[in-house]
Amino acid sequence: MVDVLLFAELQEKAGSEKLSIEADGVTVKELKKQLLSTYDLDNINHAMIAVNEEYANEATVLAKGDVVAFIPPVSGG
Amino acid sequence: MVDVLLFAELQEKAGSEKLSIEADGVTVKELKKQLLSTYDLDNINHAMIAVNEEYANEATVLAKGDVVAFIPPVSGG
Amino acid sequence: MEKNFWLTSEPIEINDVISKVVRPEAGAINTFIGTVREFTKDKRTLYLEYQAYVPMAEKKLQEIAEEIEVKWKDTKTAIAHRTGRLEISEVAVAIAVSTPHRKDAFEASRYAIERIKEIVPIWKKEHWEDGALWIGDQKETKSYKEQLPTKEE
Amino acid sequence: MEKNFWLTSEPIEINDVISKVVRPEAGAINTFIGTVREFTKDKRTLYLEYQAYVPMAEKKLQEIAEEIEVKWKDTKTAIAHRTGRLEISEVAVAIAVSTPHRKDAFEASRYAIERIKEIVPIWKKEHWEDGALWIGDQKETKSYKEQLPTKEE
């Protein structure tokens, strides 16, 4: 299982800030597909990806216990 | 009589922060000459001039009660 | 351990941020403070809400400071960012950079706020009289004419 | 009457300066703080002494704010400058400028400090281990290689 963190608009759309998903050994890209099949999260394709608090790309292969965060365009400051 | 204000190095050279000088009706340029004949104030020629708290030039004619300040190169901030 | 980069749900005290960068080697401190603006053109903001991915955001703030140290030598940086609900005029972000010379302080502080808007996982939701919206990318280097107004647009 | 431009022989509280420019129309506040630096290259400063032509200096600070209002619209500026003896790391000057957008805040604040160094009748005397000197013009736009080091050189 991996933890999936959602923020801002994505969090509201999913109705959850954290999901536990079976995605050990799969890529982030595949995880996104899986999420899109369950949740109305079109904007996830505009989000950056972080794995274990570091920016990562879609090709990253996930391991058990990883924390994947989808980072919509940021607007701090 | 006009009041003459001196600052920084000029004040130290003259040993005074304020002089009362008979200069009614004369120009600042003449006042400077008068000061140079009495005090060791060579650097007064590098000073800006203010009359009644506004920058002025050497040609300004002084009136009784005016306050003339000699402003060495500033170094605030 | 001294923490120079932090998110907080409490009001930010500017002095807490500035005091972290005061030092004998510095002759200049530049501080940038982002506050909640009430009007953008004619649109009135009621309040803002900031959400953050806190541990990653604090890490990214620290990375920005490290980037600054590479770009301008002998700098010290501290940054605090607020989370939660913010009323008009409250401080959303406070950046302080100290340097020996003033030019670097201005440049580094400006760099910090621009980088925050690029890489730090913090999101702002604007609440207006007629609705609310999570605001996207608001870097000043791009045009957002087609989007809703944001604090800095 | 609110005084937004002042000289003081007491330590400057940054918050006193910042609080004067906070307002609902502002989204950005830039603050520049000049502090007493201990070392300039290898030369050690023990302390500084600032002298000012106080009434004229306060008037000139206000004029700088008026210049800023002309150059960048919708700004609010406050400036405090210290006089007397200052120890290392003490605040010599604090400038705060609030604007709707951050770019203007940075530019206007930078303008303010440069103008202070041009037109405001305030003088600094540096005290080193081997002497003391009233420091002249120290605008960063000129070269002072031939002169003694100054805070900002």
Q: Which residue ranges make up each domain of chain C?
A: 5-147
Task: Answer yes or no: is pLDDT of B72 > 70.
Answer: yes
The answer to whether C113 contacts A77, with C-beta atoms less than 8 Å apart, is yes
Say whether the ipTM exceeds 0.90: yes
CB-count burial class (<10 Å; 0-12, 13-18, 19+) for D49: middle
Q: Which CATH superfamily is domain C5-147 in?
A: Molybdopterin biosynthesis MoaE subunit (3.90.1170.40)
Residue in the structure block whose two tokens are 């130290």: B12
Q: For chain D, which residues lie within 8 Å of any Cβ of chain B, measuring from their own Cβ? A: 34, 50-53, 55-57, 59, 81, 92-93, 113, 116-125, 134-138, 150, 152
Residue D88 gets which letter from DSSP? T
Q: What pLDDT score does D9 carry?
A: 98
Q: For chain D, which residues lie within 8 Å of any Cβ of chain C, measuring from their own Cβ? A: 14-15, 18, 22-39, 88-89, 98, 100-103, 105-106, 109-110, 113, 140, 151-152
What's the mean pLDDT in B35-64? 96
Band of the pLDDT at C41, cuts 50, 70, 90?
Answer: confident
Interface size, chain B vs chain D, as Cβ–Cβ contacts under 8 Å: 74
- Rounded CA separation C54/C60 (Å): 10
* pTM (2 d.p.): 0.92
Q: What pLDDT score does C139 carry?
A: 53
- Rounded CA separation C80/C76 (Å): 14
Give me the CATH topology for the region A2-71: Ubiquitin-like (UB roll) (3.10.20)
CA C116 to each of CA B25, C10, D102: distance values in angstroms, whole numbers, following the listed order: 62, 20, 13
Low-confidence ranges of chain A (pLDDT < 70): none
Task: Answer yes or no: is pLDDT of C58 > 90.
Answer: yes
Q: What are phi and psi of B46, to 5 degrees?
A: -95, 0
Is there contact between B and A if contact means ≥3 C-beta pairs under 8 Å? no
Q: Which residue ranges make up each domain of chain A?
A: 2-71
Contacts of A46 in chain C (CB under 8 A): 136
DSSP percent split of chain A into helix, strand, coil, nearest 5? 30, 30, 40
Q: How far is CA C113 from the centre of its chain?
A: 5
Q: What pLDDT score does D139 carry?
A: 52
Q: What pLDDT score does D145 carry?
A: 34
The answer to whether A76 contacts C56, with C-beta atoms less than 8 Å apart, is no
The answer to whether A74 contacts C55, with C-beta atoms less than 8 Å apart, is no
CA dihedral D17, D19, D25, D30 (to 10 degrees): 40
Total H helices, total E strands in chain C? 3, 9
Contacts of D113 in chain B (CB under 8 A): 77
B32, containing H or E segment: helix B28-38
Residues in contact with B33: Cβ distance below 8 Å, sequence separation at least 6, in sequence order: none
Q: What pLDDT score does D116 carry?
A: 98
Indicate the SS3 state at residue D3: coil
- Rounded CA separation C83/D126 (Å): 44
What's the mean pLDDT in D129-148? 63
Using DSSP bridges, classify how beta strands C28-35 and B67-71 pair: parallel, antiparallel or unpaired.
unpaired
